[in-house]
Amino acid sequence: MTKVKPTAPLDHKIYYPAFKSHDARFDGRVYVAVSSTGIYCRPVCRVKMPKEENCAFYNSAAAAEAAGFRPCLRCRPELAPGFAPIDAPSRLSRKAALLMEDDCLYDSSMEQLAKELHVTDRHLRRSFMAEYGVSPVQYLQTYRLLLAKNLMTDTTLPVTDVAFTAGFGSVRRFNAVFKKHYRMSPSALRKQAQPAPLAGHDSITLYLGYRPPYLWSGILAFLGGRSIPGVELVTDDAYHRTVVLRHNQTIYRGWISVQHAEKKNMLALTISGTLLPVLPKVLMRIKHLFDLHSDPAEIYDKLAVMNRIKEGMCVPGTRLPGSFDSFEMAVRAVLGQQITVKAARTLATRIVSAYGSAISTPVAELTHTFPTPEEICSLEGPIENHLGVLGVTGARAKSIHALASALLNGDLELSRNSDPDLQLKNLLELPGFGPWTVQYIAMRALGWPDAFPHTDYGVKKALSGYSPKEILELAEQWRPWRSYATINLWNSLN
């Protein structure tokens, strides 16, 4: 393997003013390393301001650690928000990073990752180095360490559980790598952090950062209006849902709750203990669902022109609601074709009641998990016989079955890691999937920021007075954030 040299630091003259002003727009994009302390921080850190000559700036936490710096225990770089996958030249490297974060490569290697991305491992290393300033191996190790540090700081999980949850093959290896990078043992960090045990149910609570502002009420209202009773519950200040995830032929079921820790610019995520073996997957899906990778300032700068159409149409901090379960969301999209949101919700509730799996949770309203593609495909006989009695038309029942089959066969991939152009093409080949449906799925399941369902009733209503051609022409000025523009258009109708 070719040895990769650490990346050179960024121009301190550009980034020191951002660090000095604690500009949150640079959080997760730039890290400051202080030579006098050997520690690296986020630009939002409130420690005593170091001298400019003692500062070096890096474009990733991994690059700072590769240069010999250890993370700040106060601002906690593991909580910094990530990137949104928008730039085509960077898409390969960022997709690789997302795949690594999804499961910490528990059961695969860098060579297998490169193969999955259809490139050579050499090309992957070269592209990754150009984007992040470190090799993929260094990035993965830093992610594992930061996840472990998060667990050691915020939970009372045993060190053994922390090590394996963060992707380390043994406790001995975990202790050795932790001591080498952070100059203290995991137990010493735990003693210093003194996390409070969570009273009540078998669960842990972690924090995930975002770039402010965050329109929490907006995303809660969106999810609440589309929540599926039994699977989801949205209250005045929190989102709750059941979870079913498969890993290595094992199915894990549990529950999660998400609340807004506004003063910290974070979301507080409580996870049932049954989901610890798939914790990285849960974290990635929550980041996707609540759009924690986006840069609201950059998006608002582009979409503020919408306020010329109607005052207050574009609101700073508006997020693009993603999905936790892409199959569940895609089924909802099919059910929602040419009917109201309320009617689609009713049909989804009937499907859950008939074919979802019962689950016990501490939230009385959470009673079932949504049916998986495997469960839908295992139904005997024509799918219309099963879903038709629930009020689902024959055509839509066939669309749902085709969707489940395509996901099982690997003919379709619905995640933030997938290629939007390819998956939209694959979706259009399925029966009953038209332009509106695939654009909506691109927005929410793929998290693609530039989707635009221009034929949507709500879009046309918000832009009444514009012809379909004029709507498309108008939306050109909103690229590459047309998905966010769509959410703002829908919100303007409330």
Q: Which residues of 169-193 are buried (b: 16+ CB within 10 A; e: fewer)?
A: eebeebbebbeebbeeebeebbeee
pLDDT per residue of the chain (494 residues) written in tens, 0 to 9? 444 456 677 887 788 888 888 888 788 889 999 999 999 999 999 888 999 999 999 989 999 999 999 999 999 999 888 877 665 557 788 889 988 998 888 878 899 999 988 899 999 999 999 889 999 999 999 999 999 999 999 999 999 999 999 999 999 999 999 999 999 999 999 988 887 665 455 899 999 999 999 999 999 999 999 999 999 999 989 999 999 999 888 999 999 999 999 999 999 999 999 999 999 999 999 999 999 999 999 999 999 999 999 999 999 999 999 999 999 999 999 999 999 999 999 999 999 999 999 999 999 999 999 999 999 999 999 999 999 999 999 999 999 999 999 999 999 999 887 888 899 999 999 999 999 999 999 999 999 999 999 999 999 999 999 999 999 999 999 999 999 999 999 999 98
CATH number, domain containing residue 390: 1.10.340.30
Q: In what order do the strands lie in the sheet with 238-247?
A: 203-209, 266-272, 250-261, 238-247, 232-234
Q: How far is CA 416 from CA 11, 97, 326, 343, 468, in A?
A: 31, 11, 10, 28, 29
Strands (E), 185-264: 203-209, 232-234, 238-247, 250-261
Same-domain pairing of 255 and 353: no
CA-CA distance, 119 to 138, in Å (whole number)? 19
Please give the distance of CA 92 from its chain centroid, rounded to a whole number: 17
Query: Computed from CA positions of residues 463, 467, 470, 476, in that sequence, does the dihedral angle turn out positive or negative?
Result: positive
Q: Which of 193, 218, 250 is the last residue of a domain?
A: 193
In contact, 482 and 452? CB cutoff 8 Å: yes
CA-CA distance, 136 to 14, in Å (whole number)? 27
Q: Which of 76, 98, 126 is the last residue of a domain?
A: 76
What pLDDT, on the 0 to 100 scale, is given for residue 2? 44
First to last CA, the chain: 57
236 is catalytic: no
CA neighbor of 95 nearest in space, from 128, 50, 133: 128
What pLDDT, on the 0 to 100 scale, is given for residue 46? 86
Asked if residue 41 is part of any domain, the answer here is yes
The residues, ordered by sequence, that sit 6+ positions from 112 with a Cβ below 8 Å of its Cβ are none
Q: Which amino acid is at 375?
A: E
Same-domain pairing of 289 and 376: no
Asked if residue 6 is part of any domain, the answer here is no
Same-domain pairing of 151 and 177: yes
Q: How far is CA 436 from CA 331, 456, 460, in A?
A: 14, 7, 13
Same-domain pairing of 487 and 341: yes
Asked if residue 305 is part of any domain, the answer here is no
CA neighbor of 290 nearest in space, from 209, 395, 408: 209
Pairing of strands 70-71, 39-41: parallel
CATH number, domain containing residue 51: 3.40.10.10
Q: Which helix (H) or strand (E) holds 291?
A: none
In contact, 454 and 483? CB cutoff 8 Å: no
Same-domain pairing of 243 and 154: no
Same-domain pairing of 485 and 358: yes
**CA angle at 292 for the pair 480 and 427, rounded to the nearest 5°:** 55
Same-domain pairing of 216 and 158: no
Q: Which of 276, 296, 316 is the last residue of a domain?
A: 296
Same-domain pairing of 264 and 133: no
Same-domain pairing of 486 and 424: yes
The residues, ordered by sequence, that sit 6+ positions from 80 with a Cβ below 8 Å of its Cβ are 27, 28, 31, 42, 61, 209
CATH number, domain containing residue 135: 1.10.10.60
What pLDDT, on the 0 to 100 scale, is given for residue 199? 47
Given 41, 45, 72, 75, the catalytic residue = 41
What pLDDT, on the 0 to 100 scale, is given for residue 364? 96
Asked if residue 39 is part of any domain, the answer here is yes
Same-domain pairing of 478 and 379: yes
Asked if residue 141 is part of any domain, the answer here is yes
Same-domain pairing of 162 and 184: yes
CATH number, domain containing residue 264: 3.30.310.20
Q: How many domains does the chain have?
A: 4
What pLDDT, on the 0 to 100 scale, is given for residue 420? 86
Asked if residue 106 is part of any domain, the answer here is yes
Domain coverage including residue 229 = 203-296
Asked if residue 309 is part of any domain, the answer here is no
202 is catalytic: no
Asked if residue 81 is part of any domain, the answer here is no
Given 154, 291, 325, 456, the catalytic residue = 456
What pLDDT, on the 0 to 100 scale, is given for residue 89? 52
Same-domain pairing of 111 and 207: no
What pLDDT, on the 0 to 100 scale, is given for residue 86? 61
